[in-house]
Structures are given as C-alpha cells and as structure tokens.
Structure 1
Amino acid sequence: MVKLSPHFLAFCIIAISSNLFNSPISIHALNVGVETNAGLSLEKECSRTCESKFCAVPPFLRYGKYCGIMYSGCPGEQPCDALDACCMKHDLCIQHKDNNYLNLECNENFLSCVAKFTKSGSPTFKGNTCTITTVVRVITDVIDAAVAAGKIFKKP
C-alpha cells in the first residue's frame, strides 16, 4: 500500500472540489458504488496499456499510460502520444521533488507542455475514446488548482 503525503491529499481535495463545481458532470456521476468493479483503485497503479477512461471525471481520469491521479506508466514504458509525454514528464518531475504534488516548477512546466500540445494539433493515440479538449480541460483545471494551492502553501 502506498503512503499518501499531506501535499498529495491537499492536492486531491482542491482538484476534486474545483472541478466538481466547474464540470458539466453531475455529482451523481461520481457515485460508482462499492459493489461495482470498474477498474478503479485507490492504490498507485502502473500501466503498460494506452487507456482512455473517465475522461471528464478528474479523480478517475485515465489517459494514455501517464495521465491521471495515482496513475502512471510502468518503468520504461513509452508514452502513448505527445499529451501522455507531458504527463510522463510531470510524473518524473514530481518524483524528483519528493512527491510534492504542489510543486510550482513541475506544475507550471506541465501546463506549458499541455498548452504546446494543444497548439500543435498533434494526433492522439490509436484507440483513444476521449475528446481531447475534455482531457486537456480536466488536466488544466486540476493543475491550475495545484498551482494555486502551491502558492497558498508556498511550495517551491
């Protein structure tokens, strides 16, 4: 079981709450039920498969191998596309910053990478079922919240 840092927990609370109020998704959409097995886990996972699930639901988003909270590619896995590469770089940056999910440098660089991806018009990976504008909006909203929290808590 992975031990969660206080920074990560604060990040999750801010990310989820900021997106619930700005999302077109009904609050009832988050009622996944404990009896269901939709491939959800609270443990950190590593992925070897390009996925596109829960595209508009921030706490459960799975895009590529590296995009999503508590979700990352397995060591040595190549990203699925340019957006997934941004997520991979962000994951590595956060790891190098003692898993400080509020680190401003990592989060601002991530936002810049996502913006470059959006402007480039690069294709998404084969088999993607998410609308890329939705994924980018979810990622941007979550990381914007993390940047704001990092400034409030004065995290470098």
Structure 2
Amino acid sequence: MRLTIAAVGRLKAGPEKTLYDSYAKRIGWPLTLREVEERRPLSAAERMAREADLLLAACPAGATLVALDRRGKTLDSDSLAVWIGGRRDAGIGDLAFLIGGADGHPDPLLKRCALQLSFGPMTFPHMLARILLIEQLYRAQQILAGHPYHRA
C-alpha cells in the first residue's frame, strides 16, 4: 500500500519540517507528500473549491481518500490502525490523506472520501496537523506490526 499526504500550503524549513521528516523516514510504506497552493485572491467558497481540485489532482488515480476535517470521526489510534489495515488487507493500492486550507474542505470533496477523520474539536495549525497525521500513520504501522511503540 502506498500513502500520499496531499496538503494545502508548504512546510518550510524549521522544527515542524524536521519532526515531519523524522516520522516520514520511519514509515515503511511508500510515502509521498504533495503540497499545493492557490495564491489568487478568491472568495472563501472559490478558494475551497480550487484547493479541493488541487488536492484531488495531487492524489494517485483511484486512491482511497481520507479527508482530515473537524466534522469527521474521531478514532483512537487502535481503531485507525484497524481501518488502515483493513484497506491494506483488501488490496487497496493507494491511500491518500487530504489536509485542506484554512476554510477546510467543501462538501463535494468530503462526499468522495471513504473516511472523514478528525483529531478532535480543537483547532490545530495545518502544518501541525501534518505532524499529528504522520505520527499516527507511523503508530498505525507499528500497531499493525505488533511493535511495542504504541504502548510505550
């Protein structure tokens, strides 16, 4: 199974990028980060629609989509690992995680996703959401492998 993280915005050099890269190196599944940006001055609705188009274009064709969205399901780490493992075991080739911009994802994009995932009711900076996501992907990998990292 191949993983793609498609995210609005660019992660610049600094502690967030260092931490992201640290977890990315630990993941055994092929992993790609695709960053997209819309720089034109657009209304919030137009920007959300444009960012959705850019995110979808950044994903492999036929990928199973997961949107990070504040209105999504909150899963504990074990449940997320089981969900990912189920996709892996079903022969899903590509799993793509979508991190939207400041205004989130539009409903048409959310309806295309197999899972809408929330890290809870708190608001996190989008760059920090990448770190939370990649750590949880690493943790899921370790849970599925029976490694004690999850219990430490």
Query: Is the pair's TM-score, using the shorter chain for normalization, greater than 0.5?
Result: no
TM-score, structure 1 normalization = 0.33
**Greater strand share, 1 or 2?**
2
Q: What TM-score comes out, normalization by structure 2 length?
A: 0.34
